[in-house]
Amino acid sequence: MNNLTNLLTRAFFMSTPLVLGALGEVIAERTGMMVTAVEGIFLIGAWGGFIGAYISGNIWLGFLIAMFCGLTVAALYALTTVYMNQHQIVMGTAIAILVSGFCTFFYRVIFGIQTTPLKVLVLPNMEIPILSKIPFLGAIIFSQNMITYCTYILVPIVFFIIFKTSLGLTLRSCGENPEAVDAAGLNVRLVRFGAVLVAGSLGGIAGAYYSLCNVGMYTSEIISGRGWIAFGICFLGNWNPLGALIFGIVFGISEAIGIYVKALGLSTIPSELFSALPYILVIILTVCRKELRVPNRLGAKYLKEN
Amino acid sequence: KESKAEAQESVKEGDNSDYAGMKIVLILPGSIDDQSWNASNNAGAKQCDKELGTKIEVVESVPVEEFEQTFTEYGEKGYDLVMSAGSQFDEACAAVAPQYPKTVYTVINGTKSDSENMVPVFPKEYEGSYIAGIIAGYTTKNGNFATMGGESNLAMVHLLDTYEAAAVEVAKSRGIADAKANRSFLNTWTDVSIGKAMTSQMIDNGADTVFCYSNEATSGAIQATAEKKAKFVGFAANKNTESDCVVGSVDMAWANVYPWIIKGIKSGELKGAQEVGVKEGVFETILTDQCSDECKAAVEKATEDITAGKLDLKQYFSN
Amino acid sequence: MEKKILVELKHVSKRFAKVLANDDVSMEIKEGEVVALLGENGAGKSTIMKILYGLYHATSGEIFIHGEKRDISSPKEAIASGISMIQQHFSLIPAHTVTENIILGHCKGKIDYKAKEKEIQDLADKYHFAVNAGEYVKNLTVGAQQKVEILKALYLNSKILIMDEPTAVLTPQEAEILMQFVREYVAKGNSVVFITHKMKEVMEVSDRIIVLRNGRVSGTINEEEVKSVKETELVNMMIGHALEVLKSPGGEEENPKVRFSVSHLSIIPKDEVPILSDVSFEIRGGEVLGFAGVSGNGQQELCEAIYGARTINTGEIVLDGEDVTHLSITERIRKGIGYLASDRYKYGMVSDMSLSENLMLKASYLERWVKHGIIQWKKVNQDTEKIIADYKVKAPDYSVNIGSLSGGNQQKLVVAREVDMGRNLVIFDQPTRGLDLGAINYVHKTILKEKELGKSILLVSTELSEIFALSDRIAVLYKGRIMGIYRNGEISTDRIGLLMAGVGEKEATNG
Amino acid sequence: MDKREQRKKLSFTNTQSIFDVLFWTALAIILGLVASFIFLPLLGVNPFYAVSVMFSETFSSTFNMGNILIKTAPLILTGLAFAFTYKANLYNIGAQGQFYAGCICASTVSLSLGGKMPGFVVILFSLIAAVLGGAIIGLIIGFLKAKFNANEFLISMMSTYVIQYVMQLLLRTLLQESKHEYLKTDYLDKSTWLPKILPGTSVSLGIVFSVLTAIIAWYILYRTSMGYRIRVTGLNQDAARMSGIAPRRQYMIAFAISGAMAGLAGLVEVNGMQHMLLTGFDTQIGSYGIGIAILANANPLAVIPAALLFGFLQVGGTALGHASDAPASVIDLLQGFVMLFVLMSFFFRRKIELDRLKKKKVQEGGEVA
Ligand SMILES: Nc1ncnc2c1ncn2[C@@H]1O[C@H](COP(=O)(O)OP(=O)(O)OP(=O)(O)O)[C@@H](O)[C@H]1O
Ligand SMILES: Nc1ncnc2c1ncn2[C@@H]1O[C@H](COP(=O)(O)OP(=O)(O)OP(=O)(O)O)[C@@H](O)[C@H]1O
Ligand SMILES: [Mg+2]
Ligand SMILES: [Mg+2]
């Protein structure tokens, strides 16, 4: 029982940045923009978050800077894809390479060569008064950190915005038929640009989660593919914030189980299998989930000649 | 310690200009700020520069696919000594070295010496880890050890073997009859998150003393150990300052060995495959106050025994 | 009484990278009138209206609304000035509901869907539009979708409604309803700009006619003259010369050889009403069988079934004595069946490929231009050049992208290809939809020429005039059934109209 | 204006546009270099020195210039892998995984047959194995796309990670070197190494394979009916279906060919350069392939110079790292900036082209299209 609680606590803990990243991705993809720069955004978030927190000594300032960094990279991505009509997938690749070079380079510029790791104190967990006393669930869900709680709160908010407000209607319409949005007198490019910026901000925070909530340090391999998992979760969650939450937790659990089995040190099952588990899961789930409703113009350029 | 003294002597003698004229390069597979293997080798090079007045060029983050090219490049440029740190350089070195007989190739952690000019230096990591195991044995309360390695290569397996053997033996001698070690591999050297998650899982599974040998990922392991209020034994670098949960570290003090290598090569005394270990001063044990006197004594004794060749550590190897 | 001028366009020019779409166009829209905008494909009708609606920016020129100079930089300003536009290709979102489509961009904050839905339902009911406000647009027929577009304008209380070829996709009945709406709407003091290629509609509904040619205003017919103007005059303004007169078919002696036959063909999707049931007919060599009917009664499915693009439940298809029922599309192409699909952009061409590459489209598995898997481009290019010359396609050469041609010229090339592929049978599905008079003329000539070559020709059209002009025999399709097959000349337009509406018993075929 | 005149004009615009491409690409590359070198003083490296070192070191010896070709060889192939599917409007961003699959197959065959048969026979078998290995992975992705309409972008992305772990597993078990020390294979038998073709360098036959493949890929796409069908499907799959071309089959073919080329890159690296298989090598080769394909506008022949450029950047960047205190990350910075600016240059080039067209029309006066 205790072991299970620990495992699930870890699962929820690890699912937070995935959900956060996927939420941003949902918002952007609803407008037709795949934020393929997600790896780069996560990475620069982790980088900026750490540097901000280390230098200022204030972890929240770190998150703010991470958000700003993610936003900047997203702005670069949106500028080139939305306003300069470059291809989304291609641009994402270019940005991933650029950001990885940038972060490593400037980490050294800022800190020089260190022989012991620079660290910050990670964001402490915070038990929510009453709720954390609920048996089982209390320990798993209500004894996490602030960012995790914010993520939980963000899910219904994003859901509400997307499905119940005029802004959401505009967002969704941009992904379905941008010409119609244009004809209705709205600025498609601005909407897309804004949505990508939001995705970038959330992605930046998600990245910072790894450096500021998880390990309290920055390394160039800190993201290693997790941004893509968030990207996949957005697909699997059917471009729905609730779906993103559910699949984010599914992946948190799968990662936790993978770790659990690996930690048992069984030599009979190859541990590589568990390392590959999240990726295999994405493949299987994408193939199996037939009812996916892709935004009609996801990934397509919107060329407007006037 | 001996070599240090010698070095200082030679500085006094003022023949360091000789060393300054040597063209030496150190090739590292990872980033020099990885806080582990690469960092400590870089420190070795810096030590030489300071001690001997050499000007060692350090080339970092050389990807696997460029090993051969890089060795060739410095052979072509007529370097006197091409050093590289990591057994993964062995094969590439063997392929290139015979073509440039005037250049000496040294692979730290390597074992292969096919030609005259190949002088691999192999640190007997399993000796150092045995000592680390003793520290762990005195640290544990419940006799449950967690051991982790970056990937499962033979040297890694051997050093974990001796570590576990020492730890369990000591724990049993302290009356913890069911002492046991649990081992797993991270499959990554660099991913801090995985290091952290694995460690906390292993502590959840009952371990109270943790050992992790990988690069950046080690920091994740220490982090988790601190959070879960367990204890950590550092290896390959001095981890004591990183967190209070580190009870002691067995540092690989390349700073002691590098000058020795360079001097040996300069004088032509160093030939063929070299093995260095506790005796040569590669390992420096740094204990914190958390270690009991009993522990300190045991560590000292083991160090002496190994130096004297009284302990057969190979008996513990699982294969 | 002089009507008040609402909108004035003065000396508007619009230059795209490759064309001058509008050249010094001046026109006005008055209160309570229907202005018909006429012109060939590419004359610049859509462009000038898109400028007024703010979708395009004029290169030069001025726009006055209520006598005030306005800078309309986006539809937002146009909408604020009471202008709405229904575009040639609807701007609806199929995945959203009618309500969502209508309120897009015109609501704030939290949306109370229930209230909005009711508001829109009331609006629809007021105009007697049979549209369910909560329905998804993708489930609506084209006619209903257009009503949604109109509802958008009504919802915004627009004073000026621009309709770009609104009837191109409608059935005759739907078109009639639309005309009715236009009259009522204008009667309330609103104005409509009506873009169309159809003379009949122009005559029927407009108060004033403006004709564009090559981006310039080539003629204006004022209110007083509208009643008296002749079609030929308009045609002259549009294309600069009179149309050739076609030699209509009929009265020739009949080729006795049946080359193509379909028997008992049915397509019945599971748990749904049949799309086609028990369709049987035959076509002789050198004969045109015209299929009349309101679109959506199974015409496209029939064509696709014959072409092999749709699986059938029962039936047999025989070409020149050979059963082709179970052959793949490729094999049918090999047997000499050509198919001009009604949606050219979707099924008939690849916009980003050159003319010769588009000519190749259906021949990639044939030996005609391909040897051992290698395409003989030289030969294809030569053949393309020949088609460009023969069909008078307006294109510099074979290497330009087909997408850069005007609609009519695209259609010429696609028709040429299908005629070429279809050695034995050619299926024409709506071959002239959206084309201007000149292009229509060309397509009609081609069909008659092919008929003379002894091919069997199946022609589907929603334009009865086209059916009458070209067919030897006429079949009427209603809800997937053949209501009867008649010789051209044996049946009146009225009678066909009734059959198309499903009135009349199924008669003995093969008259 | 008669037709001949029109054609002349057309060919004029062609030379104009070739000039444009070269000009803008060169400008983008220079900007990329400037943008990345401008930061070097922060680490105490003189950027002018850096530029001079980068060029002088790279072109100082045939050996170093040979290195460019060595880098270029596999990059051409992964570039082609992306370009080929791009033509079918598909996105194979899993070339990395297919490359590893090729590596695994090539090394397995070479290890098990090496020394037992004449070298060229083994190389031939390895080549077939590598190509098949990559092709099968590609085919699976294409199949999932065709059969389940799965998002090929996501799946190919994920497949890379999976294959990477499979490779690690194999290197730990079945393929591990006979000493069983490290996660790598034994050295391949010398007879199975691709022969060196340029004296004084390590350039192997691999570059020849790559260039040939580029030519073949171009030929397939533009000269054969198979390639034609792939292109049609990419541009308009409904029209393809209506023309008897089954889009799903084209997906699978395109992905299989794409995978095969990435697999071949595996052979070129393993038998041509590395002579063994080990973990964690060439981890970015797939991403670079995408950059190269884009630089080349997905034209298989243009992939060759684009890959050369990347090869140069890598060798030059490495030389820079060796000769100065510039860290290795400067290479990524370089490549990232160059890609970014090249992509931006596409936009400006097009914009200026359009403006020029407009201006020309205005000059021609009243003539209406
Ligand atoms: N967005 C655009 N970019 C470039 N050229 C365009 C664009 N839209 C229209 N054109 C060109 O402008 C000219 C006028 O086009 P427009 O659509 O206004 O014609 P139209 O009169 O509406 O024709 P149709 O009756 O076929 O709808 C055409 O030659 C067309 O090629
Ligand atoms: N956004 C655009 N960019 C470039 N060219 C365009 C654009 N939109 C339309 N065109 C060009 O405009 C021409 C005609 O456009 P339009 O949409 O008016 O079709 P059309 O020729 O009138 O045919 P149809 O009446 O069947 O729609 C074509 O040559 C097309 O390539
Ligand atoms: Mg048009
Ligand atoms: Mg139009």
Give SS3 for C124: helix
Stronger pLDDT, B111 or A62, i.e. the higher one: A62
Q: Quick one: average pLDDT of C345-358? A: 92
∠ CA C130-C131-C137, nearest 5°, is 145
pLDDT digits (tens, 9 = 90+) for A245-270: 999 999 999 989 888 888 887 777 78
Q: Is the dihedral of CA B191, B192, B195, B200 positive or negative?
A: negative
Which one is predicted more confidently, B132 or C406?
Answer: B132
Residue identifier of the C-alpha nearest atom 11 of ligand 1: C21
- Tokens representing C86 are 């229904």
D16 inside domain: no
In the predicted model, what is the mean pLDDT of residues D297-323?
Answer: 90
Q: Could you tell me the distance, in angstroms and rounded to a whole number, from the CA of residue B39 to the centre of ligand 3?
A: 68
Gap from D156 CA to chain B (nearest CA, Å): 22
- pLDDT reported for residue C90: 82
- Is pLDDT at D7 greater than 60 in this prediction? no
Mutating to test ligand 2, I would choose from C18, C40, C41, C344 the residue with most ligand atoms within 8 A of its C-beta, which is: C41
Residue C255 has a pLDDT of 63
Mean pLDDT over B17-34 rounds to 84
Q: Which helix (H) or strand (E) holds C288?
A: strand C287-292
Residue with the bigger pLDDT between B273 and B248: it is B248
Residue C508's pLDDT is 39
- What residues make up the domain containing D216? 72-307
Pocket lining: C394 vs ligand 1, CB cutoff 6 Å = no
Return d(Cα D77, Cα D211) in angstroms, integer: 9
DSSP assignment of D24-73, as one string? HHHHHHHHHHHHHHTTGGGGT--HHHHHHHHHHHHTS-HHHHHHHHHHHH
The closest alpha carbon to B184, from A253, A260, A254, A222, belongs to: A260
For residue B226, what pLDDT band results from cuts at 50, 70 and 90? very high
For residue A98, give the nearest of D153, D166, D337 by CB distance.
D337
pLDDT at residue C507 is higher than 50: no
The rounded radius of gyration (Å) of the Cα atoms in chain C is: 24
Q: What is the fold, at CATH topology level, of the domain defined by A2-113+128-288? A: ABC transporter involved in vitamin B12 uptake, BtuC (1.10.3470)
**CA distances (Å), C142 to each of C173, C245, C300, in order?**
13, 33, 15
| Closest CA in chain C for residue A161 | C110
Residue with tokens 């009639």: C176
Give the mean model confidence (pLDDT) for residues D250-260. 95
pLDDT averaged over every residue in chain C: 88
Do the chains contact at D347 and A87, CB–CB below 8 Å? no
Burial class (CB in 10 A: 0-12, 13-18, 19+), C272: exposed
For A200-209, C87-96, C99-108, C376-385, which range has the lowest pLDDT when averaged over its residues? C87-96
Verify whether ligand 2 is closer than 6 Å to residue C87 (CB atom).
no
In the predicted structure, residue D20 carries a pLDDT above the cut 50: yes
Question: For B162-197, how does the pLDDT look when each residue is reduced to its tens digit (9 = 90+)?
Answer: 999 999 999 999 999 999 999 998 888 888 889 999
pLDDT at D15: 66
User: C124 in ligand 1 pocket by Cβ < 6 Å?
Assistant: no
Asked which of A19-33, A132-146, C18-32, D207-221 is least confident by mean pLDDT, the reply is: A132-146
What lies within 8 Å, CB to CB, of B196 at 6+ separation is A214, A215, B220, B221, B223, B224
Q: Which atom of ligand 1 is nearest to the CA of C407?
A: 26
Residues shown for chain A: 306
Whether the pLDDT of residue C54 is over 60: the answer is yes
pLDDT value of position C250? 53
Q: Which positions in chain D touch B79 (Cβ < 8 Å)?
A: none
pLDDT tens digits along B66-113: 888 889 889 988 899 999 998 888 888 888 899 999 899 999 888 888
Residue D197 lies in a domain: yes
- The predicted pLDDT at position B13 comes to 45
pLDDT over 70 at D1, yes or no = no
Please report, for chain A, the start and end positions of each structural domain, with discontinuous segments joined by +: 2-113+128-288
The answer to whether chain D touches chain C by having 3 or more C-beta pairs less than 8 angstroms apart is yes
Which residue in C477, C439, C475, C441 sits closest to C457, CA to CA? C475
> Considering CB atoms only, which of A115, A217, A256 is closest to B43?
A115
- Quick check: CB of C50 below 6 Å from ligand 1? no
C296 CB within 6 A, ligand 2: no
**Greater pLDDT, B319 or C125:** C125
- Model confidence at D5, pLDDT cuts 50, 70, 90, reads very low
User: Which of D220, D297, D368 is best to mutate for the C interface (most C CBs within 10 A)?
Assistant: D368
Whole-number Cα distances in Å, D360 to C147, D326, D354: 43, 48, 10
The angle that helices B67-76 and D62-87 make with each other, rounded to 10 degrees, is 160
Residue C358 Cβ inside 6 Å of ligand 2? The answer reads: no
Give me the residues near ligand 4 (ion), CB cutoff below 5 Å.
C 46, 88
Least confident interval from B35-39, B279-283, D249-253 = B35-39
pLDDT tens, residue by residue, C284-336:
999 999 999 877 788 999 999 999 999 999 999 999 999 999 999 999 999 99
Task: Please identify, in words, the CATH class of the domain defined by C254-353+417-510.
Answer: alpha beta
Q: Residue C13 and residue C173: Cα distance in Å, rounded?
A: 37
**What is the least distance, in Å, from the CA of B73 to any CA of chain D?**
8
- Has the ipTM of the complex gone over 0.90? no
pLDDT in the model for residue A48: 97
Backbone φ, ψ for residue B81 (5° rounding):
-140, 125
Does the structure show a pLDDT above 90 at D22?
Answer: no
pLDDT at B14: 46
Q: Whose CA is nearest to atom 25 of ligand 2?
A: C434
Higher model confidence: residue D128 or residue D87? Answer: D128
Q: How many structural domains does chain D have?
A: 1
The answer to whether C193 touches C162, Cβ cutoff 8 Å, is yes
Chain D residue numbers touching B187 (CB-CB < 8 A): 165, 168
pLDDT at C82 over 60: yes
Question: Rounded to a whole number, what is the distance in Å from the CA of A134 to chain C's nearest CA?
Answer: 34
Query: Cβ of A165 and C110 within 8 Å?
Result: yes
In contact, A40 and A74? CB cutoff 8 Å: no
pLDDT of residue B2: 42
Cα D194 from chain centroid (whole Å): 20
Any atom of ligand 2 within 6 Å of the Cβ of C55:
no
CA distance C216 to C29: 17
How much is the average pLDDT of C362-377? 93
Residue D369 makes CB contacts below 8 A (sequence gap 6+) with: C18, C19, C20
pLDDT of residue C254: 62
pLDDT in tens, C409-434: 899 999 999 999 999 999 999 998 87
Structure tokens at B301: 């004794």
C-alpha distances (whole Å) from C452 to each of C249, C428, C447, C471, D178 are: 10, 16, 9, 13, 80
> What pLDDT, on a 0 to 100 scale, did the predictor assign at position B5?
45
Atom of ligand 2 at shortest range from CA of C17: 4
At residue D364 the predicted structure's pLDDT band, cuts being 50, 70 and 90, is: low
Domain-located, residue D185: yes
Q: Please report, for chain C, the start and end positions of each structural domain, with discontinuous segments joined by +.
A: 5-239, 254-353+417-510
How much distance in Å is there from the Cα of D315 to the middle of ligand 4?
55
Residue D10 has pLDDT above 50, yes or no: no
Distance from the CA of C430 to the center of ligand 2, in angstroms? Answer: 19
Say if residue B15's pLDDT is above 60.
no
The per-residue pLDDT for range C160-206, each reduced to its tens digit, is 999 998 887 777 777 888 899 999 999 999 999 999 877 788 888 89
Is C254-353+417-510 the same fold as C5-239?
yes
Q: How far apart are CA B41 and CA B63, in angstroms?
A: 17
How many of the other CB atoms lie within 10 Å of CB of B19? 22
Nearest Cα to Cα of residue C204 among C188, C221, C180: C180
Q: Could you write out the three-class secondary structure of chain B?
A: CHHHHHHHHHHHHCCHHHHHCCCEEEECCCCCCCCCHHHHHHHHHHHHHHHHCCCCEEECCCCHHHHHHHHHHHHHCCCCEEEEECHHHHHHHHHHHHHCCCCEEEEECCCCCCCCCECCEEECHHHHHHHHHHHHHHHCCCCEEEEEECCCCHHHHHHHHHHHHHHHHHHHHCCCCCCEEEEEECCCCCCHHHHHHHHHHHHHCCCCEEEEECCCHHHHHHHHHHHCCCEEEEECCCCCCCCCCEEEEEEECHHHHHHHHHHHHHHCCCCCCEEECHHHCCEEEEECCCCCHHHHHHHHHHHHHHHCCCCCHHHHCCC
pLDDT of residue B38: 85
Give the C-alpha separation, C299 to C279, whole Å. Answer: 11
| Residue D274 pLDDT class (50, 70, 90 cuts) | confident
CB atoms within 10 A of CB C505: 7
Model confidence at C65: pLDDT above 90:
yes
- CATH T-level fold of C5-239: Rossmann fold (3.40.50)
Distance between CA atoms of C410 and D128, rounded to whole angstroms? 45
CA distances from B168 to B143, B146, B184 (A): 7, 11, 17
Q: Whose CA is nearest to atom 14 of ligand 2?
A: C406
> What whole-number distance in Å separates Cα of residue D80 and Cα of residue D262?
8
For residue C268, what are the CA distances in angstroms to C224, C272, C307, C359? Answer: 55, 7, 18, 34
Mean pLDDT in residue range D39-45: 89
Given a contact cutoff of 8 angstroms between Cβ atoms, the answer to whether A56 and A220 are in contact is no
The residue in chain D having the minimum alpha-carbon distance to the alpha carbon of residue C305 is D242
Question: Is the CB of C138 inside 8 Å of chain A's CB atoms?
Answer: no
C-alpha atoms less than 13 angstroms from C-alpha of C332 in its C-beta half-sphere: 30
Please give the residue of chain A at the shortest CA–CA distance from B205: A3
Nearest CB partner across the interface for D182, out of B57, B72, B153: B153
% residues pLDDT > 90 (chain B): 39
Q: What is the mean pLDDT of chain B?
A: 87
DSSP single-letter state for residue C137: G
Distance CA C85, CA C152 (A): 9
pLDDT more than 90, % of chain D: 54
Structure tokens at C123: 């609006």
